[in-house]
C-alpha cells in the first residue's frame, strides 16, 4: 500500500482521481457524489472544514486564488460560473476573499490536517501538471522520512488497506 496520498484535480478543484490513502486522509471520495468531490466546496461549505484544515485561512485564500486563476483562463466555463455562484451564496468568507482578486497557482507548500485516526499531521505537497491534460494537476502529499508525519501516514495506510 502506498504511503503517499495523491489526487488528480482540475482547476475548478474537482477531484477527478485519487489513491486509497488520499481518500483516507482527505475525504471518502468513493462514497461521495461526483459533485461533492470538489475541494473548494469542502473548504467553504463543509461545516467540519475548519477542524480538518488547521490552516483553514491559508487553504481558503489559496483555493479562491486558484479559482480566480481558472476564471481568468476560462471565463465562460459554465461549471466554474455555477461553482463560484454557489460558493458566493453559501459562504461569506468566500465572498470576502473573492472580492480581493487574489490569484494563486497551486505549486507546493505545507498543509496541516487534523484527522480522527492520526491526529494532527503536517504534510508537504507538490503539484505537477498532468501530461496531455490541460488544467489537470497531480497533487502529492509527502512526509519527511522518519518523521511523526511519516509514522502517521504509515498508520493511516495500514488502516486504509483493511477498510
Question: Residue 157 phi/psi, 5° resolution?
Answer: -65, -40
pTM of the entire predicted model: 0.92
Q: Cα dist. 17→65, 89, 146 in Å?
A: 22, 28, 28
Per-residue pLDDT of the chain (163 residues; tens, 9 = 90+): 567 999 999 999 999 999 999 999 999 999 999 999 999 999 999 999 999 999 999 999 999 999 999 999 999 999 999 999 999 999 999 999 999 998 988 789 999 999 999 999 999 999 998 777 778 999 999 999 999 999 999 999 997 776 6
Whole-number pLDDT of residue 130:
79
In angstroms, the CA 26 to CA 110 distance is 15
pLDDT of 163 reads 60
Tell me the domain boundaries of the chain.
6-162
Give the DSSP H or E segment for 120: strand 119-129
Task: Give the span between the Cα atoms of 88 and 99, in whole angstroms.
Answer: 10
C-alpha–C-alpha distance, residues 162 and 83, integer Å: 35
Distance of CA 29 to the CA centre of its chain: 12
Residue in the structure block whose three cell numbers are 484527522: 115
CATH class of residue range 6-162: alpha beta
Give the pLDDT confidence score for residue 2 in this predicted structure.
65
Amino acid at each position: 500500500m502506498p504511503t503517499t496520498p495523491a489526487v488528480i484535480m482540475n482547476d475548478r478543484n474537482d477531484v477527478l482521481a485519487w489513491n486509497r490513502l488520499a481518500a483516507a486522509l482527505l475525504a471518502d471520495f468513493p462514497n461521495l457524489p461526483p459533485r461533492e468531490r470538489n475541494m473548494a466546496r469542502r473548504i467553504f461549505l463543509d461545516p467540519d472544514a475548519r477542524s480538518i484544515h488547521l490552516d483553514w485561512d491559508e487553504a481558503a485564500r489559496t483555493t479562491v486564488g486558484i479559482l480566480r486563476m481558472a476564471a481568468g483562463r476560462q471565463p465562460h466555463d459554465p461549471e466554474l460560473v455555477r461553482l463560484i455562484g454557489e460558493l458566493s451564496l453559501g459562504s461569506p468568507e468566500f465572498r470576502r476573499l473573492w472580492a480581493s482578486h487574489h490569484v494563486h497557482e497551486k505549486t507546493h507548500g505545507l498543509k496541516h490536517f487534523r484527522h480522527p485516526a492520526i491526529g494532527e499531521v503536517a504534510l508537504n505537497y507538490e503539484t505537477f501538471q498532468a501530461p496531455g491534460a490541460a488544467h489537470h494537476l497531480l497533487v502529492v502529499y509527502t512526509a519527511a522520512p522518519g518523521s511523526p508525519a511519516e509514522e502517521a501516514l504509515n498508520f493511516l495506510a495500514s488502516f486504509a488497506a483493511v477498510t
